[in-house]
């Protein structure tokens, strides 16, 4: 792997201290990362390292519970969540070898479960608050990187009802290198995803045809640009393909999806099309429709990998 392939590390401290020169340099680093990798690792981001450790420990403790207890962790009757919530196992025929727990914003009340669990914890609430703040900050930085009018993304993507958090445990990888898929190659749909991971490793990002590992760095957060930004920028910012390979140890991660609301229409912006004389590379679509079709990929996995529903469906 060439050294320029390693995931960039972006120091966000200047945004906390207000150091203007540092802000300009960090913004430039994010702009470059969006173009080259669609991924970076944020350090000095303001989310306490102790909170990241606490969340991952809590998740590890949850997943060691017996299956009979975990399967009962689901929203109580009458709670209609925007997407399926609670504990889930991948269907037996799935090549994804992980189990997961989906949470919504604790303030929305969807996480009220049939059983007490990780979902009801103060740690999840604290993480939610901090990662939402992080989402607003990264979105502001993206707005600047993309040269959009001040506050444009903040106004466009101002409703947080579709944000969600998924805690995952990846099963042990088999001996040798064969069949070690933990989560198959995919892109994320929304605005930006944050990944907190333990020290096991296994997340990989596709860059120029080869897989680059997102090596764990203590206290860092992996930041991943989603399809929404790729479409708005007409392909200038990259929603990178990524996957998780299994290792000889259980791996725990949290993915926080700073999404966009399902009722929003999404299409390439004039700044990246008409205003610069370029043809749009995507058709206009309703975000909810895209999300629902992606959920179908999971509930009714297509027989042929090329039939998996992805953003290319809207490509012109
Ligand atoms: O577990 C990870 O590191 C990545 C998870 C992921 O890519 C996702 O949830 O979309
Ligand atoms: Fe992902």
Nearest ligand by distance to the CA of 254: 1
Ligand 1, pocket-test mutation among 90, 167, 200, 255, most atoms within 8 A of CB:
255
User: 145: burial class by Cβ within 10 Å (0-12, 13-18, 19+)?
Assistant: buried
Is the CB of residue 259 below 6 angstroms from any atom belonging to ligand 1?
no
The complex scores an ipTM of 0.99
State which ligand 1 atom lies nearest to the alpha carbon of 182.
1
Structure confidence by residue, pLDDT tens digits, 187-242: 999 999 999 999 999 999 999 999 999 999 999 999 999 999 999 999 999 999 99
Structure confidence by residue, pLDDT tens digits, 18-31: 999 999 999 999 99
Nearest ligand by distance to the CA of 187: 2
Q: What's the mean pLDDT when you consider all of the chain? A: 90
Is the CB of residue 164 below 6 angstroms from any atom belonging to ligand 1?
no
8 Å CB contact between 315 and 282: yes
User: 144: burial class by Cβ within 10 Å (0-12, 13-18, 19+)?
Assistant: middle
CA gap 229, 219 in Å, rounded: 26
Is the CB of residue 255 below 6 angstroms from any atom belonging to ligand 1?
yes
Structure confidence by residue, pLDDT tens digits, 230-289: 999 999 999 999 999 999 999 999 999 999 999 999 999 999 999 999 999 999 999 999
Structure confidence by residue, pLDDT tens digits, 34-46: 999 999 999 999 9
Name the pairing type of β-strands 265-266 and 86-89. Answer: unpaired
pLDDT for 111 beyond 80? no
Residue keyed to tokens 């309703």: 286
3-state secondary structure the chain: CCHHHCCCEEECHHHHHCCHHHHHHHHHHHHHHHHHCCEEEEECCCCCHHHHHHHHHHHHHHHCCCHHHHCCCCECCCCCCCCCCEEEECCCCCCCCEEEEEECCHHHCCCCECCCCHHHCHHHHHHHHHHHHHHHHHHHHHHHHCCCCCCHHHHHCCCCCCCEEEEEEECCCCCCCCCCEEEEEECCCCCEEEEEECCCCCEEEEECCEEEECCCCCCCEEEEECHHHHHHCCCCCCCCCEEEECCCCCEEEEEEEECCCCCCEECCCHHHCHHHCCCCCECCEEHHHHHHHHHHHHHCCCCCHHHCCCHHHHEC
Q: Give the chain's end-to-end CA distance (angstroms, integer).
A: 33
From residue 40, give the alpha-carbon distance in Å to each of 124, 186, 192.
23, 17, 11
Which is higher by pLDDT, 179 or 14?
Answer: 14
pLDDT for 112 beyond 60? no
Confidence (pLDDT) at 232: 98
CA gap 135, 127 in Å, rounded: 12
User: Residue 69's CB: how many other CB atoms inside 10 A?
Assistant: 12
State which ligand 1 atom lies nearest to the alpha carbon of 98.
1
Exposure string over 208-228, b if 16+ CB within 10 A, otherwise e: eeebbebebeebbbbbbbbbb
State percent of the chain over pLDDT 70: 91
User: What's the whole-model pTM score?
Assistant: 0.94
Is the CB of residue 224 below 6 angstroms from any atom belonging to ligand 1?
no
If you take atom 5 of ligand 1, which residue's CA is the nearest one?
Answer: 255
Structure confidence by residue, pLDDT tens digits, 288-311: 999 999 988 877 878 887 888 999
Name the pairing type of β-strands 9-11 and 39-43. Answer: parallel
CA gap 184, 201 in Å, rounded: 15
Structure confidence by residue, pLDDT tens digits, 50-87: 999 999 998 998 899 999 888 888 766 666 666 667 88
Is the CB of residue 203 below 6 angstroms from any atom belonging to ligand 1?
yes
| Mean pLDDT within 143-157 | 97
Extract the tokens encoding 86: 């609670």
Main-chain phi, psi angles of 213, to 5 degrees: -70, 140
Nearest ligand by distance to the CA of 183: 1
Confidence (pLDDT) at 282: 98
């Amino acid at each position: 792997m060439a050294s320029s392939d390693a995931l960039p590390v972006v120091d966000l401290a200047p945004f906390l201290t207000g150091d203007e020169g540092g802000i300009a340099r960090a913004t430039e680093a994010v702009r470059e990362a969006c173009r080259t990798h669609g991924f970076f690792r944020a350090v000095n981001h303001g989310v306490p390292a102790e909170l990241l450790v606490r969340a991952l420990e809590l998740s590890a403790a949850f997943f060691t519970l017996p299956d009979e207890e975990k399967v009962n962790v689901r929203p109580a009757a009458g709670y209609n969540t925007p997407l399926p919530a609670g504990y889930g196992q991948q269907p037996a025929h799935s090549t994804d070898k992980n189990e997961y727990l989906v949470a919504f914003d604790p303030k929305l009340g969807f996480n009220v479960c049939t059983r007490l669990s990780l979902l009801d914890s103060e740690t999840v609430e604290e993480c939610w608050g901090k990662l939402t703040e992080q989402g607003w900050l990264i979105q502001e930085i993206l707005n600047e990187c993309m040269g959009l009018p001040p506050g444009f993304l903040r106004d466009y993507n101002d409703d947080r009802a579709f944000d969600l958090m998924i805690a995952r445990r990846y099963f042990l990888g088999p001996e040798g290198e064969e069949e070690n898929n933990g989560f198959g190659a995919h892109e994320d749909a929304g605005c930006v995803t944050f990944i907190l991971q333990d020290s096991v490793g296994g997340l990989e990002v596709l860059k120029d045809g080869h897989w680059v590992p997102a090596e764990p760095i203590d206290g860092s957060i992996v930041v991943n640009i989603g399809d929404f930004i790729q479409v708005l920028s007409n392909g200038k910012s990259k929603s990178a393909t990524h996957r998780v390979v299994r290792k000889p140890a259980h791996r725990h991660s949290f993915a926080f999806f700073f999404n966009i609301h399902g009722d929003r229409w999404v299409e390439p912006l004039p700044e990246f099309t008409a205003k610069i004389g370029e043809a749009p590379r995507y058709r206009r679509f309703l975000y909810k429709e895209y999300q629902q079709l992606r959920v179908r990929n999971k509930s009714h996995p297509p027989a042929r990998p090329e039939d998996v529903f992805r953003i290319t469906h809207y490509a012109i």
